[in-house]
Amino acid sequence: MKWTVEWTAAASTPDWNQVLRSQGLPEGEALPTRLVGLVDAAFERYLALAEPRAILGFVEPDVFAGIYRGEGLNSHETPLESIVPRASRLALFVATVGQRLSAEIGDLFARHQPAAGYMLDAVASEAADGLAYAAGRELLARLQDAGELANGARVLPYSPGYCGWHVSGQRKLFAFLGPETIGVTLNQSCLMQPLKSVSGVLVVGDSATHRVHPTYSFCDHCGTKQCRERMASVK
Amino acid sequence: MDLLKSIAESLEHGDDERVHALVTEAVAAGLPAGDVLNQGLIAGMGVVGEQFRLREIFLPDVLLAARAMYAGLDVLKPLLARDGVPTAGTVVIGSVQGDLHDIGKNLVGIMLKGAGFEVVDLGNDVAPERFVDAAARSGAAVIGLSALLTTTMSVMKDVVDLVKARGLKARVIVGGAPVSEAFAKDIGADAYGFDAANAVDRVKALAAGA
């Protein structure tokens, strides 16, 4: 079963302070008026232009296994290989904040307004990341309504391109979901258009579902380690 | 001279309106456009870059300074072209094929322009051939490659190999969350920039032939 979700721009707007934190600004830092104006302008543009929406679809584990294998380019050992068998439900998703934002970001850079373009890019990126979690909440609500949500169930999104899941996995994911209906397409490099879009699998399970051993070969090359923090945060 | 110092200081404070006004005043006073650029705007951005490198200021402060820089450049650009003032060099930048993350790359582009470089930004998902073709066409001294994904960083080696195969003189610098000095060395890149400010320093060194 597949379904689409639309949010208002306001509902998908990221936290004002989080946008600044993601750019390295320490919490509690006094902000100059000009900076507040720059960030406010970016949020105003976001509210005016965002068209957040998603498509989700339940997927059976055996079907997902084929999608996950993709074109055989995943890393040798990956977290999802141990996470998925423990999951109670899986759903694929693609979500986007829409094309108008990407176009506006490009226009701002082209009009030699890099500060405004960069700040809008930062807001839109935070918002797009947030949609993966919003899609997860939609999934939990749907399971709750159907009486299929176990006590203590948690959901986390996992995306192609991260943690050993090769980005070429997008092709089978897109073939399954058909996100063209919400305006998201894939290019030859398996990148999504509009740019500010997210995709992946939503894994539902108890907190133990999302625990994995701490390192994989590809972790050596990763400077962020965000996924470990994310998985560890599920309690 | 005081006027140029005021331009630099106003830029450091991200005061775009004042920078625009002061640059206009400097031009009206007959100061050479090259001096206004180098001793005013670029000098100010140099201080901003150094403060950013030392973590004394933060990314949004750099953005405000960049906005002020552009406000000054709006006035200067026609004069720089008329006077034939040379840039610090040309740099081709982009996120490698398969990678759509360009926030870091955009910041490097902004800071390179602030350092006086001509920047050819190819965007994201850039195939190796496009990097090399753009560098050959523009006579770029440096090619800057960005990747955020561990699954796309291998494309950087394809670009390095192609630059060598085509016999280009352009030097290659790599950067991005999964990239390291060791990785850069492994793939034969000329430099690694661990953040935007460091990348600008390394590009300056590469462009100077170091």
Which residues of A are less than 8 Å from B63 in CB distance?
A: 38, 114-115, 118-119
**A191·B67 Cβ contact <8 A:** no
Q: What is the pLDDT of residue A185?
A: 96
Tokens of B67: 């906005």
SS3 category, A88: coil
Average pLDDT for A160-174:
89
- For residue A189, the domain's CATH number is 3.40.109.40
User: Measuring CA to CA, which residue among A46, A57, A74, A78 is closest to residue A4?
Assistant: A57
Count residue pairs from A and B with Cβ separation < 8 A.
102
- Please indicate if any CB of chain B lies within 8 Å of the CB of A190: yes
The pLDDT-based confidence of A228 (bands split at 50, 70, 90) is low
- Residue of chain A nearest B110, judged by CA positions: A114
- Please indicate if any CB of chain B lies within 8 Å of the CB of A125: yes
| Domain around A226 | 2-233
Which residues of A are less than 8 Å from B124 in CB distance?
A: 191, 195
The pLDDT-based confidence of A223 (bands split at 50, 70, 90) is low
Total of domains in chain A: 1
Whether the Cβ atoms of residue B191 and residue B202 lie closer than 8 Å to each other: yes
Q: Which of B58, B66, B74 sits opposite A24 (nearest CB)?
A: B58
- Please indicate if any CB of chain A lies within 8 Å of the CB of B110: yes
- The C-alpha of B9 sits at a distance from chain A's nearest C-alpha, in angstroms, of 16
d(CA B2, CA B72): 16
Whether the Cβ atoms of residue B125 and residue A191 lie closer than 8 Å to each other: yes
User: Measuring CA to CA, which residue among B90, B155, B95 is closest to residue B122?
Assistant: B95
- Please indicate if any CB of chain B lies within 8 Å of the CB of A34: yes
What phi and psi values does residue B39 have, to the nearest 5 degrees? Answer: -90, -15
Which residues of A are less than 8 Å from B58 in CB distance?
A: 23-26, 29
Q: What is the pLDDT of residue B167?
A: 96
Q: How far is CA B69 from CA A38, A59, A169, B112, B198, in A?
A: 15, 51, 42, 12, 20
Q: What pTM was computed for the model?
A: 0.84
Give ipTM to 2 decimals: 0.74
pLDDT tens, N- to C-terminus, chain B (210 residues): 599 999 999 999 999 999 999 999 999 999 999 999 999 999 999 999 899 888 888 888 888 999 999 999 999 989 998 999 889 999 999 999 988 888 889 889 989 998 999 999 999 899 999 999 999 999 999 999 999 877 788 899 999 999 999 999 999 999 998 788 999 999 999 999 988 889 999 999 999 986
- Residue of chain A nearest B52, judged by CA positions: A24
Q: What is the pLDDT of residue B134?
A: 98
- Please indicate if any CB of chain B lies within 8 Å of the CB of A105: no
Percent of chain A whose pLDDT exceeds 70: 93
**A115·B67 Cβ contact <8 A:** yes
